[in-house]
Amino acid sequence: MTERLEAISGSMFSGKTRELMRLVERQKIAGINTQIFKPIIDDRWGRLQKVRSHSSQEMDATPVKDSRELLTKIDPKTKFIAIDEVQFFDGGITKAIDELLDRNIKVLVAGLPLDFRGEPFGSMPILLAKADNIIKVTAICTQSLPNDGICGGEATRTQRLVNGQPANYNDPIVLIGASENYAARCPSHHIVPGKPK
């Protein structure tokens, strides 16, 4: 990674965390001191000290409650920081990342660019605009079709489900979950009842 700020962007189930771990592993092989951070609210797997992909790969991580706490946890020897689920951090995360870059620490972020409503999510759009490089990953649209198959198209959206039905636009933005609450959808099959036109 020659970029100072790199971002991995994609819907749920697109492999963002797996890609983050792959890039972190490369830094470690190169002998570069690395740290991984994640928001403390991401407790989907019951292991707060890990980041975990949907394919069950894991790597040690430090959970933090906000951007200020993240800055207090930086080891002086660290030269590479990875932040998973960056969209869940407070608005101060962009300034915290600027500070890390000013210290000549390379930063890799992974997150959802859009919330379940299909609207910009947290600080991710700002970080995408500032990134030196963006890795866009997609999932497979799993919308059922009448012929008992699935769409199979490029899923760039995250569909929240409530009792198997699309969540309403006015539902809370943040709901931590996995396949029990979310599905990958292409733009054609992403539905948000109640969304203003």
Half-sphere exposure of 98 (CA within 13 A, CB side): 10
Instruction: Note whether 82 and 35 are within 8 A (CB).
Output: yes
Token pair listed for 113: 């660019």
85 part of the active site:
yes
Beta-bridge mates of residue 111: 9
Catalytic residue among 58, 85, 119, 154: 85
Instruction: Note whether 73 and 64 are within 8 A (CB).
Output: yes
d(CA 144, CA 80): 41
**Residue with tokens 């608005």, as numbered in its chain:** 91
Q: Which residues contact 25 (CB under 8 A, 6 or more apart)?
A: 59
d(CA 150, CA 184): 11
The catalytic residues are 85
